[in-house]
Amino acid sequence: MGILRLAHVDVRTPDLDLSAAYYTEVMGLQQVQRTDDCVYLKCWDEEDHHSLRMRYNPRTGMDSFTFRVEEEDDLHELEKKVEAYGCPTSRVSRGEAVGQGESLRFEVPSGQIMELVWDIEKTGNMLGKHNPSPVPPPDLPGIAPPRMDHMLVNAEEVAESAAFFIDVLGMRMTEQVLDGNGHQLGVWLAGNTRSPHDIAIVNGPNGALHHWAYWLDDWDHIRKAADTLAFNGVQIDQGPTRHGVTRGNTIYFFDPLGIRNEVFTGGYWVDPDTEILTWTEDNFGKGLFYYENVISQRFLRMHT
């Protein structure tokens, strides 16, 4: 029971048409719904209604991020725990948000708005449930990742924020970066998935979104993604390369409004009894980008 996985990220864009064009044509997502001020998008292998909501607003930024809980009762249990920790919560009723029923909202210690939901509208992936093809249609435009994988938010006090996600929400830490005094500079946290992270928290301004990442199935798809990005004139931030932390292969790049995206593959399986991996600050360069061994200031200081 408890936190299952990342469900969706909700962001603001001052140019809804430009953002929708980029996320459908270059990232290769499916547009599932459009209202006056919102576009809802998903990947071809996702079962839920959407994994990305883009809302028109003059200021780019993140509205909220949503995790799905495993059982219906978890919402009530976690509501009590979050309240007991001292974070006021509110309920968003069924019918108020597209693609989901009742949810729980609160501000995490680092200032982002987090939402928990169990009741999600299942619209199915592109493959269907009867005699499904193992692959999507070959003519999908853009990168076309199968699913969203994880996200990263910033926190001024990483340890405080990590403790909230671990002690209150019940997530598991898989890796951490410690400074010379043993203080956490970054933590990687898993819900009930087998991947090394569903969310990571790295030192930076409260309230900020660093990136969210899409899963790709292998390194060759990362290489093809780099070709697609370069062909379309997308600003690449770093990579293709490999993380030391998580061991994942990666590219970071910016959407047309400057929101950082990542495509990610690899990593390793984690079980509840997997031991935490610890990086020291003097090795953080390799932890971030194993081949380059650099701490890029653009990478650490640019956020949404």
Binding site for Fe ion (CB under 5 A): 213, 262
Size of interface with ligand M3P, in residues (CB under 6 A)? 13
Q: How far is the CB of 303 from ligand M3P (least distance, A)?
A: 9
Q: Which is nearer to Fe ion, 198 or 262 (CB)?
A: 262
- Beta carbon nearer to ligand M3P, 53 or 210: 210
CB of 290 to ligand M3P, least distance (A): 11
Cβ(256)–Cβ(18) under 8 Å? Answer: yes
Question: Which one, of 195, 104, 205, 105, lies nearest residue 150 by Cα?
Answer: 195
Tokens of 76: 């009530």
Residue 243, binding choice from Fe ion, ligand M3P, none, Cβ under 5 to 8 Å by partner class: ligand M3P
First-last CA distance in the chain: 32
275 phi and psi angles, rounded to 5 deg: -75, 150
Integer angstrom CA distances of residue 286 from 228, 281, 289: 27, 10, 5
Bridge partners of residue 107, in order along the sequence = 113
Binding track over 148-187 against ligand M3P, x by CB under 6 A: ----x---------------------------------x-
Please say which residue, 12 or 303, places its beta carbon nearer to ligand M3P.
303
Compute the distance between CA of residue 175 and CA of residue 172 in angstroms, rounded to an integer: 9
Number of H helices, E strands in the chain: 6, 17
> Closest by alpha carbon to 105, among 90, 117, 94, 83?
90
The answer to whether the CB of 150 falls within 8 A of the CB of 195 is yes
244 binding partner (options Fe ion, ligand M3P, none; Cβ < 5 to 8 Å by kind):
none
- What, of ligand M3P, Fe ion, none, does residue 105 touch, CB below 5 to 8 Å by kind? none
Q: Which residues belong to the active site? A: 150, 197, 211, 243, 252, 262
Listed in sequence order, the residues at least 6 apart from 156 whose beta carbon sits closer than 8 Å to its beta carbon are 110, 203, 204, 205, 206
* Interface positions, 220-279, toward ligand M3P (CB under 6 A): 243, 245-246, 248, 262, 264
Task: Determine if 26 is a binding residue for ligand M3P (CB under 6 A).
Answer: no
Partners of 278 in the β-ladder: 176
Question: Is 55 or 247 the residue whose CB approaches ligand M3P more closely?
Answer: 247
Shortest distance, CB of residue 241 to Fe ion, whole angstroms? 12
Residues 237/260, Cβ–Cβ less than 8 Å: yes
DSSP, res 298 = H
Nearer to ligand M3P by Cβ, of 13 and 174: the residue is 174
200 binds ligand M3P (CB under 6 A): yes
Contact of residue 288 among Fe ion, ligand M3P, none (CB under 5-8 Å per partner type): ligand M3P
215 is a site residue for ligand M3P (CB under 6 A): no
Q: Applying CB under 6 A, which residues contact ligand M3P? A: 152, 186, 200, 202, 210, 213, 243, 245-246, 248, 262, 264, 288
